Amino acid sequence: MSNRREWQDWLEANGAKWLFYARQQTRSQADAEDVLQDALVKTWKTCQGRITEETSSLVYTNIRRCAIDRARSATRREEREHVVAGEQPDTEEALFEFDGDNELFAKSVQEALARIPEKHREVIALKIWGGLTFAQIASQLGESPNTVASRYRYGLEHLKKLLQDREEQVA
């Protein structure tokens, strides 16, 4: 198998979860796509085109770093634009796409995710949608596995409570 084909297969197998993680780290779908592209280019250069066991973790690390850089740049640009034109930033885009009855649930989950602490949200995204182990997440975030596991547990508890409160309000 050629190196190019190996990367294509690897990207097809993992691209959706990386994009979802990038979406958690950015303000819009377009930003997430750009961040993912930048992260993959950085990963390619770092790995010199080879896929190893550590390459997936490196993608997450690069997504996080690229998202931080993009957010800083966007914030500075928006502040300048706001001063010059008095414009407000765009509203937040949807994280999930569901049809019909699931649309309300998807919106509830998105709103609840936005309300939990960022440290918890990040661990949840890496664990659930990224499929990483607590050890891998700990390594990426520079935290202990116990801290990561606690953030995950507390984040899920907080998320569950917010969704239950929302359900009670609707009922």
Query: Tens digits of per-residue pLDDT, 42-74?
Result: 998 888 878 888 888 899 999 988 988 888 787
The mean pLDDT of 35-40, rounded to a whole number, is: 94
- Residues 5, 85, single domain; the answer is yes
pTM above 0.75?
Answer: no
Q: Which of 92, 127, 159 is the last residue of a domain?
A: 92
Domain holding 168: CATH number?
Answer: 1.10.10.10
Owning domain of residue 142: 94-171
- Residues 137, 161, single domain; the answer is yes
d(CA 77, CA 40): 25
Residue 93 has pLDDT above 60, yes or no: no
- Residues 34, 44, single domain; the answer is yes
Specify the pLDDT at position 170: 65
Place 171 in a pLDDT band, splitting at 50, 70 and 90: low
- Residues 87, 7, single domain; the answer is yes
The DSSP annotation for the chain comes to: --HHHHHHHHHHHHHHHHHHHHHHHSSSHHHHHHHHHHHHHHHHHHHTT---TTHHHHHHHHHHHHHHHHHHHHHHHHHHHHHHH-PPPPPPPPS----TTHHHHHHHHHHHHHHS-HHHHHHHIIIIIT---HHHHHHHHTS-HHHHHHHHHHHHHHHHHHHHHHHHHH-
Place 98 in a pLDDT band, splitting at 50, 70 and 90: low
Based on the structure, what is the number of domains in the chain?
Answer: 2
Per the listing, tokens 């998807």 go with 106
Specify the pLDDT at position 89: 45
State the first-to-last Cα distance of the chain, in angstroms, to the nearest integer: 56
The mean pLDDT of 150-163, rounded to a whole number, is: 91
Percent of the chain predicted with pLDDT > 90 = 26
- Residues 64, 120, single domain; the answer is no
Residue 62 C-beta-side C-alpha neighbours within 13 Å: 22
Higher-scoring residue by pLDDT: 67, 3: 67
Specify the pLDDT at position 109: 79
Residue 101 has pLDDT above 70, yes or no: no
pLDDT per residue over 118-130, tens digit each?
889 889 888 887 8
- Residues 118, 58, single domain; the answer is no
Structure tokens at 55: 């390459």
- Residues 88, 133, single domain; the answer is no
The mean pLDDT of 14-31, rounded to a whole number, is: 89
